[in-house]
Amino acid sequence: MNQLDPQPVLYLDNAATSWPKPPEVIDAMRRYLTEVGANPGRSGHRRSVEAARVVFGAREAVARLLGVDDPLRVVFCANGTHALNLALRGLLRPGHHVVTTGMEHNSVMRPLRALEAQGVEVSVVPCTSQGVLDPADVERALRPHTALVVMTHASNVVGTIMPVSEVASLAHAHDVLLLVDGAQSAGALPVSLDDLGADLFAFTGHKALLGPTGTGGLIVGERVDLARFEPLVRGGTGSRSESQVQPDFLPDKFESGTLNVVGLAGLAAGIEWILERGVAAVRRDEAELTSRLITGLAETPGVCVYGTGDVERQLSTVSFTLAGMEPGEVGRHLDDEYGIAARVGLHCSPLAHETMGTYPGGTVRFSLGAFTTEADVECALRAVRALAEAAGRR
C-alpha cells in the first residue's frame, strides 16, 4: 500500500511497463548515482572510466541475453520507439518499398505513414483476427524495390507470437532486410538473433527486461550496410573529438550525447536477474498462469477473449471485452473497486484492433509479469466474474 493506492495494488499492466522491479535494479541505479555519477567516455578520471564500464556492462548483458556475438552491435536508445525510428528513418528513402503487418504498434505505423508521405511505398500484410500471420503473404507482398520488412515479434494487444524466422528466410532470399520490433518479446521469450534471423532488432528496457523507463536499443546485424544507414542525431560521442564529422563505426555512429547511464545500470541488473533464473523458466511460469487466466475468462458468461487462446503461441498478454460494459468502464471498476491495474482501449495499436475487429472501442488487457502469482490471477478472475454478474443484471 502507498499514497497512490488506497488498497494493495494488483498490477496486471506489465505489457506497458513491468512492475515491481527486482530490488537489484534499484540498488544498481542507487550505486551509480551515489558512487559513480560521471559522464562515460568524456574524461579520463576514474569515475568516468567506471561510468564507461557500467555502459559496456549493460551492452554485454543485452548481448548475452539476445545471443549477439559482438556487444558493440548493441546501440542504446531512449526506448523501443526511438530504436524503431532510428532504423526506419535511417534506412528508408523515397522510392523504397517496405512491407509490414496488420498487427503493428504505432511505433512502427506512425513513422511508416510519415515516410509514406515522403515517397516511401508501404504495404500492410493482413493477419487473421487472432493476430496470426502467414509468412507466404509477406513473400507475395515483396517487390523488386522492397528494401525492408518490419514486423512485431509478439503483439502488445493479444500476445500472438509472429513467425519471424520464417519471414526472415523469405526476406533474405529476396535480399531484403528484416527489422523486428522486440518490445514485448525481449526478456519474455528465449531469443537468439541468429536463430531469429533478424537484421535489426529493436528492444525496450522497461518491460520484460525489468529495467527502468528511458532505456532500450537497436541491435544492428552484419547484413546492414552502415554506409547507407543514417543516424537520427549527430553530436558528441566521446570518440574522434578532433573531427567535426560523425563517427562511422558502431555504436558511436548512433549514440550522440550522454547516455542514460543510471538507467543502463538498472537495465543491466534487470537482465542479470532474468539470466540467473533463465528466460525459459520465467516463460514457463508465466505460461502456466496465462493458461489459467485464459480458461477462467473464457468460462465467464459475457466475456469474449481475443487471440489464439494457446499459450504456446502467445505471451502472457490477454485481451478481452465484457458484454454490457465499455472497456474503459471495466478498467475503472477494476481499479477503483478491486485495486487491479489493467490497460484499456486501443493500446497504441489501432491497426491491430482493426484486424481483431475491436476498433474503435478496444479491449481490456491483462498482462502478467515475472512477479505475478497464482493468487493474483484468481483475484483478477473473481473481479471479472463479479463485474460480469453486475453487467448481466442491468
pLDDT tens digit sequence for 236-260 = 998 999 999 999 999 999 999 999 9
pLDDT tens digit sequence for 266-307 = 999 999 999 999 999 999 999 999 999 999 999 999 999 999
Which CATH number covers residue 307? Answer: 3.90.1150.10
Q: Is there a single domain that holds both residue 34 and residue 14?
A: no
Query: Radius of gyration of the chain from Cα atoms?
Result: 21
**Alpha-carbon distance 368 to 229, whole Å?**
37
Q: Is there a single domain that holds both residue 265 and residue 303?
A: no
Is 2 among the domain residues?
no
Catalytically annotated residues: 348
**Alpha-carbon distance 242 to 89, whole Å?**
28
Predicted model pTM: 0.96
The pLDDT-based confidence of 117 (bands split at 50, 70, 90) is very high
Q: Is there a single domain that holds both residue 129 and residue 271?
A: yes
Q: Is there a single domain that holds both residue 169 and residue 184?
A: yes
Domain count within the chain:
2
Q: Is there a single domain that holds both residue 311 and residue 173?
A: no
Handedness of CA 217, 222, 224, 228 (dihedral sign): positive
Q: Which three cell numbers stand for residue 49?
A: 572510466
Q: Is there a single domain that holds both residue 264 and residue 176?
A: yes
Is 1 among the domain residues?
no
pLDDT tens digit sequence for 63-106 = 999 999 999 999 999 999 999 999 999 999 999 999 999 999 99
Q: Is there a single domain that holds both residue 150 and residue 257?
A: yes
pLDDT tens digit sequence for 27-66 = 999 999 999 999 998 778 999 999 999 999 999 999 999 9
The domain boundary, picked from 276, 296, 318, lies at 276
Which CATH number covers residue 118? Answer: 3.40.640.10
Q: Which three cell numbers stand for residue 10?
A: 494488483
The pLDDT-based confidence of 1 (bands split at 50, 70, 90) is very low
**Alpha-carbon distance 181 to 176, whole Å?**
16
Q: What is the pLDDT of residue 6?
A: 52
Per-residue pLDDT for 265 more than 60?
Answer: yes
Q: What is the pLDDT of residue 274?
A: 98
Q: Is there a single domain that holds both residue 224 and residue 319?
A: no
32-36: Cβ within 8 A, 24+ apart: 32/261, 32/262, 32/265, 33/262, 36/261
Q: Is there a single domain that holds both residue 362 and residue 233?
A: no
Per-residue pLDDT for 393 more than 80?
Answer: no
DSSP secondary-structure letter at 252?
G
Q: Is there a single domain that holds both residue 212 and residue 334?
A: no
Range of the domain at 164: 23-276
**Alpha-carbon distance 316 to 367, whole Å?**
6
pLDDT tens digit sequence for 151-204 = 999 999 999 999 999 999 999 999 999 999 999 999 999 999 999 999 999 999
Is 5 among the domain residues?
no
